[in-house]
Every structure is written in structure tokens, then in C-alpha cells.
Amino acid sequence: MSRITVVAIVVALSVAHATGALAQAAGAADPALSVELFGGVTAVFPRLEGSVSSTFSPLFLYGVSSSSTAEQTLAVSGRNAAGFEVGGNVFFTPHVGLQVRFEEARAALYGGNSPYVVHLRYVSRPPPSYTLVNNAFDQSYPWPDTTGQWRTMVLSFNPAVRARLGVRVSAEASAGLSYVRLSGSIEPLAFSQYWLGGHSVLFSSLYQLRADASPTNALGFNAGGGGSIAVSSRLALLADFRWLYCARQQVPLAIAQILNPGDITMIQDLETIRRAMAPAPGPLSVNPSRPRLMIGLRVTVAGVRRNSTG
């Protein structure tokens, strides 16, 4: 469990405890007040609809290269994932209240990719004349599917409404602003290096790289609702379906690891690769909006009812 998750749970419990103490102090003459904690597992259906496009000059170690380019686009989609959610409600009347929710989910990434394409222009001096020769090398490398992991954390603050549908059954709806934090990793990004050997023969090495996404924060909007079935006076089973809307984000990427070092001749360090690729890789363009379903439990930790005699 991440440090941010632990902090969110501690804050929720602290707020619930403090609000419960205020409720007890308010006495029976105050309006009905209910303080609740809830939590459960989530099924998340990420859309992402992402891509990473990179254009750079491949590294030419020995020789002279000019007007050379390498191009790649990785497709990025997210698989359905499981996560968790915790939160709290404070209902000031039986029907109107405020709500805070925190959820986290990690989705596996996938995507089918077009080839990695290189257009190399270089000068050589082949024997026997050793005169300058301008050369062109154009190569299309089939590229593996995208893999990786995508992490989304959402903290939401909502007004909430509730209606009793029966003795034990209630319906609830809420909507409000959400703070969204995105992070993850993606692979394999392409990089290649070239050099001239004896008799001006062209050699190459093809890298597969992992890139990490810099944590990116955004504001969004959530809306949803569901129902609950009371098991006892303080415990209820609940289900909630919710939609998160967040504008498309441009998430910066940084090269973090060489995935195939055993395949590389004259391997370069990460800093050399980063300088050669700059400003690639391009940012990951991703759509954080998605639906999710939560199944869990709700516990009433404090409550004060209206004074029925006065």
C-alpha cells in the first residue's frame, strides 16, 4: 500500500472520529446527523486511448551521418483492472450530506504497434579507392506489442443525496470535483545505434527501452450512484457505479531501463541514450476518463437523531 493511500485512510478516520465527537456533543435536539465510513473493491474499465510518438536521429558511433531520422509510435490501451476505494460520508439530514472518496487502480497496458522505421544517411570510404561515398540505409523493424502498467489515484469531494426505498434499501447519488494523479511505465520504446567497421561495412544494434511516466496531476469531475442494503443498524452492503471525467493529459516520459542489454554491441549508458533521443520520447497522450464499479461495505460510526419529543 502506497504512502499516499495510508495518509488518505488516516485522514478519513480522523475526520470521522472528530465529526462523531461533534455529533455526540450536539445532543438530541440537533437535526439527524450520520457519520459513515465505507470501502470496497473496484472493477475499473480504463479507456486511455493513448499513444507515444518519437522522432530522433539514431546514434552514429564511427563515421559521418547527416539528415538521419528514426520514427516510432507506440499504441497504448489499458486492460480492465481491479482496485480498491475508501471514503466517508457525513449526512446532515437523512437525505443530504457530503462525501469524500479515494480510489486507486493499476491497469496493465497493451497495444499493437507499427514498425520502427530508420532513414540513415552517412558517408563512407570503401576500399579500394577510399573515396567518399554517400550512402542511404532505410530499414523498417517489426516491433513488439506495448506492455507496461498504469496507475491512477483519484480523490473526490462530493455533495451527496440519499433516498430510502424500503425498510432496509436505500439509493444514493453524488457528484463533484476530483483530483487525479497519473503514473506508470511503458515498454518497449526503440533506439538504435550504427557504426562503420572494416571496409566501411555498416553495423547496428537495436535497443528496447522502458520509459517511466512522470507523476502527473489533473482536475476532473466524477458522478455516479448506487444502492445499499442494511444488514444491521450500523452495517450495510453497497454498490456504486461511477464515471470519472478528466481531460486528455500529456504525460512526460523518461528513459529508465535497457531491456535487452545482452543483445547490444558497444552498449551505451542511459544518459547517452537520453541525450541522443532528446526531445524524444514524446509525451504519452492519454485519456484518463473511465467508468468503474465498486462493491463494498458501509459502517455508521456515529449518529444523532432528531428529538422526537420536542
Q: Is the pLDDT of residue 64 over 80?
A: no
pLDDT band, very low/low/confident/very high, at 306 (cuts 50, 70, 90): low
Contact 109, 150 (CB under 8 A): yes
If you write DSSP's letter for every residue of 241-290 in order, what string do you get?
EEEEE---EEE-EEEEEES-GGG-SSPPPHHHHHHHHTTPSPPEEEE--E
Tell me the domain boundaries of the chain.
Answer: 3-304
- pLDDT tens-digit map of 184-233: 999 999 999 998 888 888 899 999 999 999 999 999 999 999 999 999 98
Q: Which three cell numbers stand for residue 9?
A: 485512510
pLDDT digits (tens, 9 = 90+) for 252-295: 999 999 999 999 988 999 999 999 998 889 899 999 999 999 99
Cα–Cα distance for residue pair 2/11, rounded to 1 Å: 14
What is the model's pTM? 0.81
pLDDT, tens digit, 9 for 90 and up, residues 139-194: 999 999 999 999 999 999 999 999 999 999 999 999 999 999 999 999 999 999 99
Q: Name 13's Cβ contacts closer than 8 Å, sequence gap at least 6.
A: 37
Kindly state the helix (H) or strand (E) to which residue 3 belongs, with its residue range.
Answer: helix 3-26
pLDDT of 109 reads 96
Residue 39 and residue 300 in contact, taking contact as beta carbons nearer than 8 Å: no
What is the pLDDT at residue 7? 40
- Nearest Cα neighbor of 4 from 102, 77, 75 is 102
The pLDDT score that the predictor gives to residue 305 is 61
Predicted local confidence at residue 171, as pLDDT: 96
Of residues 20 and 203, more confidently modeled = 203
What architecture is the 3-304 domain classified under in CATH?
A: Beta Barrel (2.40)
